[in-house]
Amino acid sequence: MAEKNKIRVMIADDHSMFREGLVSIISRTPNMEVVGEVKSGEEAFEKAKSILPDVILMDIQMPGIGGIEACKKIKEAVPGIKIVMLTVADDVPSVFESVKAGASGYVVKHASFEELEKAIWTSLDEQSLVPAVATGAPLRDFDRASRLNDKSRKLSDRLCPLTNREREILSLVSEGKENKEIAYILSISENTVKNHISNMFQKLQVNDRTEAVVKCLKEGWI
C-alpha cells in the first residue's frame, strides 16, 4: 500500500458531478487518497496498469467497453488491484456479471459514504468471507457453487433450508426475472411468488433479493 498506509483509490465514472463528489470526499478521508480519475472503461484499463491503485471504484455503466468488461481486463492484467463496482440500482444480473469479472464488491450509488468506505476496506481484507449485500460488501468466493464436487454438493443440498420450489424461484430471480415473469414461467400466481420470496428472506435471514441469491450461490444451494 502507499506511503503512510493510505489506500490509493482510482475512480472510474462517466458522470463528472458524481466523480468529482467522490474525489472531494475521499480526499478528505484519513488513510485514503485519490490517485486517478477516468470516465470510460478503456481509460480505466490503461490508467490502472500505469498507476497501480489499491482499489478502483468502477461504475458499471460507462461508454465504450463498460465497467464490467474493464473490470475483467484489469483483473487479468493486474490481479492484485481490488475493484468495487458502483451501480445506480440493485441490479442482480449486473452484480453477478461483475463478480464473474473479478470484482471484490459493489455499492449502490445512493448508499452513504460510510457504507462505501466500509466496502473499500472490506475489499482489501483477504480473510473476509462476508456475503454481499446491496449497499456494499465483498463478493469473494461467489462461484464456489460451480466448483463443488458431487459429494460436497449433496451435503450442501441436505443443509439447504429452502424447498425445491423456493430454489427454483430464486434461480429465476438470479436471472433478473421479476415476480410477474416468474409466476408466468412456473404457472403460479404472483402472490404465491411473493409469499415464497418472503419465506425465503426469513429462512435465509436476509433483507433483499440480491442478498438471498448471493448467499445461496455461495453455499451451492442454487
* Domain residue limits at 122: 3-141
170 and 122 within one domain: no
The pTM of this model reads 0.62
Domain count, the chain: 2
- In terms of domains, do 121 and 150 share one? no
Report which of residues 85 and 111 the model is more confident about.
85
Q: Identify the domain boundary among 88, 119, 141.
A: 141
Q: For residue 39, give the C-alpha cell.
A: 470516465
DSSP line for 57-126: EEESS-STTHHHHHHHHHHHH-TT-EEEEEESS--HHHHHHHHHHT-SEEEETTS-HHHHHHHHHHHT-T
The arithmetic mean of pLDDT across residues 107-120, rounded, is: 82
Do 30 and 92 belong together in one domain? yes
d(CA 44, CA 169): 37
- Distance (Å, rounded) from C-alpha 118 to C-alpha 140? 15
Amino acid identity of 190?
E
pLDDT band at 116 (very low <50, low <70, confident <90, very high): confident
The residues near 32 (Cβ < 8 Å, ≥ 6 apart) are 6, 7, 9, 26, 117, 120
Cβ–Cβ < 8 Å for 145, 214: no
Instruction: List pLDDT tens digits, range 126-175.
Output: 644 343 343 444 444 444 444 444 444 444 455 788 888 998 898 888 87
153 and 211, same domain (yes or no): yes
User: With 80 as the cut, is the pLDDT of residue 181 above it?
Assistant: yes
Q: pLDDT per residue over 12-67, tens digit each?
A: 999 988 888 899 989 888 899 999 999 999 999 999 999 999 999 999 988 888 99
- Contact call for residues 82 and 54 (beta carbons, < 8 A): yes
Rounded CA gap, 215 and 196, in Å?
16
Residue 21, SS3 per DSSP:
helix
Region of residue 45 (phi > 0: left; psi between -120 and 50: alpha; otherwise: beta): alpha
Asked whether residue 71 falls in the same domain as residue 92, the answer is yes
Collapsing DSSP states into helix, strand and coil, what is residue 10?
strand
User: Mean pLDDT across the chain, nearest whole number?
Assistant: 80
Whether residues 116 and 91 fall in one domain = yes
Same domain? For 86 and 61 the reply is yes
Is the same domain home to 166 and 112?
no
Residue 107 above 50 pLDDT?
Answer: yes
Supply φ then ψ for residue 121, to 5 degrees: -65, -40
Q: Is the pLDDT of residue 205 over 60?
A: yes
Model pLDDT, residue 158: 55
